[in-house]
Structure 1
């Protein structure tokens, strides 16, 4: 039961990290567009899905760090003499992340991620060194418990700090990629037909009156790109959209509004079609 409880706690922490990363990266991305993530009304599953791909590399790094820790512990167990000389030095491991703070202003984006990532193993090493030499008494056990409890709290805080920093890097990277690829297949071409004028103008959008007799729609809008879909809402930008000087349109597909997704070069020709 104790093992199941531990596994459940780890799964809950992992899910919380996934959700937080999804939100933080989306927030950084939308802020780069001078928007806010709240306008998309994303669900919990949306945030979780947006975090999975970007966390593959950190997950592998965490697994590698855990394997390294297991190997190191095994090595210390097999070589007690070397352990006795190494462990006392680990007591001062917490000084390494502290020493990085003065360099923060040199490269904030780098050290904002490096400091918490360095703090986690250093704090664990410090706690291990402090608790390894304590005796078996009740007072010593309480002392070890207090040290590990404080260490876990600090490591969790450092973890969320690192996740926030990495999410900001990922989110801003997505925004830069979106700016570069708005006229590539990464943004599907869209044509919107509507019974009434939707007032979609600018950013390279072509608005036309539908002249065909018997048509259920009176207006046609081309030159649009699919930005995002959330529930029944479709977010669109123009083919000349730029984050600093662009418009994000929202439409809902219904009997009065039809949305067509155009593949291939036909949907990317300049001018009105």
Structure 2
């Protein structure tokens, strides 16, 4: 049980890192910029793994049903068992098709390897114990699992990046920054003005910004018109001669730079 839990934790962390890596690369950044912790990677992996978890559960139930039928009707299922001995050849047949859609077969090939080797080993060890064959198959399956996780994480990460790009203006919190010094935040839909209010300790106000990420006492901001091809990421430290306000509502967004 402990080994299974360790493997699950490793898969979750690996998926969280791989999906974040793919996401930040698609955004023209790197995950190291945001100083993510182990818990951050684990939490980022949970939401994207619901569908794979349901599919894995359904496959396990189907495999259990197939096993029970083979046990109850060995004579009628003997032919099927003989066919399963060659299940390991399925991924080999798929290899020539890889150039047609690399991103798809990066996911399908390792999944086919897992299914093929498990079915092959099951068929060849019916009625006898062969620990070495099962150990070898499981080792191959673990390697294929991490390959599949990496491929699926890339798909999920790039999907999150596309969603970020399309919703950066309306889906992220609006930010107003007051600063004692000029932070040189310009362009991309952002705006600034000199603060002339009597008694104010701040000299500049910046608007048209969106809260991109928070890590500790650092806030990562982007202009509302930010794109990976043409945009700047601003990193501010809370309390460093600045006041940062988070605002919501379409009304404010409509007039923030007027």
Q: Same fold (TM over 0.5)?
A: yes
Instruction: Indicate if the aligned counterparts of 1:223 and 1:267 stay in contact, CA closer than 8 A.
Output: no
Unpaired runs of at least 5, structure 1: 1-6, 135-140
Runs of 4 or more off by more than 6 Å in structure 1? none
Are residue 249 (structure 1) and residue 234 (structure 2) matched? yes
* Equivalences for residues 86-125 of structure 1 within 5 A: 86-125=80-119
User: Where does residue 258 of structure 1 map in the other structure?
Assistant: 243
Are residue 80 (structure 1) and residue 74 (structure 2) matched? yes
Q: What is the distance in 2 between the residues matched to 1:211 and 1:222?
A: 16
Residue in structure 1 matching 2:193, options 175, 185, 208: 208
TM-score between the two structures when normalised by the length of structure 1: 0.91
Instruction: Indicate if the aligned counterparts of 1:203 and 1:246 stay in contact, CA closer than 8 A.
Output: yes
User: Where does residue 167 of structure 1 map in the other structure?
Assistant: 153
Are residue 147 (structure 1) and residue 112 (structure 2) matched? no
Residue in structure 2 matching 1:177, options 152, 163, 166: 163
Instruction: Indicate if the aligned counterparts of 1:236 and 1:250 stay in contact, CA closer than 8 A.
Output: yes
Q: What is the distance in 2 between the residues matched to 1:233 and 1:152?
A: 44
Note the C-alpha offset of 1:82: 2.2
Q: For 1:219-243, what per-residue CA distance to the aligned partner results, in whole angstroms no more than 9, with x for missing partners?
A: 1110001111111111111011111
Q: What is the distance in 2 between the residues matched to 1:161 and 1:270?
A: 48
Q: For 1:134-155, what per-residue CA distance to the aligned partner results, in whole angstroms no more than 9, with x for missing partners?
A: 4xxxxxx5xx111111101110
Residue in structure 2 matching 1:35, options 25, 29, 40: 29
Note the C-alpha offset of 1:133: 4.9
Q: What is the distance in 2 between the residues matched to 1:197 and 1:116?
A: 53
Q: What is the distance in 2 between the residues matched to 1:177 and 1:255?
A: 32
Q: How many positions carry a matched residue from both structures?
A: 258
User: Where does residue 58 of structure 2 map in the other structure?
Assistant: 64
Q: For 1:169-225, what per-residue CA distance to the aligned partner results, in whole angstroms no more than 9, with x for missing partners?
A: 0111111111111121x2111111111111111111101111101112111110001
Are residue 189 (structure 1) and residue 183 (structure 2) matched? no
Q: For 1:45-92, what per-residue CA distance to the aligned partner results, in whole angstroms no more than 9, with x for missing partners?
A: 100111100000000011111111111100101101123222121111
Note the C-alpha offset of 1:258: 1.1
RMSD: 1.3
User: Where does residue 45 of structure 1 map in the other structure?
Assistant: 39
Instruction: Indicate if the aligned counterparts of 1:190 and 1:267 stay in contact, CA closer than 8 A.
Output: no
Note the C-alpha offset of 1:107: 1.1
Q: What is the distance in 1 between the residues matched to 2:201 and 2:240?
A: 9
Are residue 269 (structure 1) and residue 254 (structure 2) matched? yes
